[in-house]
Chain A
């Protein structure tokens, strides 16, 4: 008796491989997929709501370091710092933010041996806003 899968197997031999050669070739993801996100500090008011609501406790509030001028709308001069290795990418912080300060991306390549935080990305938004010394 002929094996039932034979036709399928012969077809597969002559077709393109289904495997994606990551990291040489990137996995296609949706543009609005939940990837790396960071707070835009020109919009952040330092209310800490994202830290309170985070289910993974991945967000801590840090003081805006010396050399950066905090916006007037942020009187406490604090900003959220996301630990990306703790984050579960549920985007609860994005949806509860009262000023919609979070910038979302579909970046998923976050594998690293060291802990990574959102600080650099966030502080860049402050510099690009022309608020630094």
Chain B
């Protein structure tokens, strides 16, 4: 071709200069098995695909194959961190089916177990966030103090993690006055630590630089994508099942809903510290005002056969609204148990929030949603929009697939 000749182009090869970075399912920056396919243009994230299904165990089907009472222990194993809320939601469904009302003392003890759980769950995710930021010393310190709450849970329920504490018509072990004293001592130790960490997250330059303005969600985003729990509350959307439903004794305990307007990752983390302090206050109140009476039902005398009916119950898990739908057709086994966990909404619907941030921010944003993969993976939903235009990736060009 001679110089100066012009040739009209007939074909254009469109090469999006995208890098595909798989984050997970096994990844040093993630503590949960989830695959985030991050498409980045340079450092900037342009698209995120969320792939799940690495932790599917078929618990809903298992629940149908076992009796109502066995299922109390099976649903507690959906998630280790929030096992008492799962059990509570299911047990309350069974109580609605039977038309049974637990005694007041049992209700108070259930709330105490759930609030201790919220406390240690929030501390865990704050610690993980510190680790993701590269602040391992802080991770160790928070985990050390979280161990105190695990001890409190052991004193109350008999096990550090899997409480197996709830039973139809009450709880499975009572709390003696000596134990109440010990729990109070533990809460006294934990409170100054929570306030210290809260101050630390508020003032530390490194933490602020990594979290401030990252992963902002407007109230419109929250409502349009159905995000729940602390994520919604950190964006100014006041949603809390404890307040709306007033289940168990939330109508009696002094409880304030924490709502923040920061909208970003920092706001979500600060909100969790604030909520942990509220949980601690609720626990203190319960230990002080525990009603007298028998909280432990005789499990040998509980009815084995359940009447026909459908029940839908909700609790506020540490990650947001958790709902159970239990359908009984009579007999000893449920016909259907449907579990909808908050992580299912929060993780799958949040792909949009990574866009525009850098690759280094992806784990930070994900952790700020407090993902709980074992919770959400009982069903696999694949709902990615089909691409209409065929695009070629840079790696395909390099590999000669043009």
Contact = CB atoms under 8 A, between A and B. Distances in A.
B43 to A, nearest CB: 27
A89 B159 contact: yes
Contacts of B205: 1
Interface residues of B, number: 31
Interface stretch (B8-16, B101-109, B136-144, B319-327): B136-144
A32 interface: yes
Interface string A23-37: 000000110111000
Nearest to A95: B299
Interface in B117-171: 137-138, 141, 144, 147, 154-155, 158-159, 162, 164
Contacts of A117: none
A11 to B, nearest CB: 10
A55 B66 contact: yes
B300 A98 contact: yes
Interface of A: 1, 3-5, 8-9, 12, 18, 29-30, 32-34, 53-56, 88-92, 95-96, 98
Given A5-B200, A34-B164, A92-B164, 17 more contacts: A1-B205, A5-B137, A5-B138, A8-B196, A18-B147, A30-B158, A53-B67, A55-B73, A55-B74, A88-B162, A89-B159, A89-B162, A91-B164, A91-B172, A92-B70, A95-B172, A98-B300
A28 to B, nearest CB: 9
B158 A53 contact: no
B159 A33 contact: yes
Given A33-B154, A55-B74, A5 B69 contact: no
A30 B203 contact: no
- Top 3 A-B pairs ranked by shortest CB distance? A55-B73, A55-B70, A90-B164
Given A8-B141, A55-B70, A88-B73, A34 B158 contact: yes
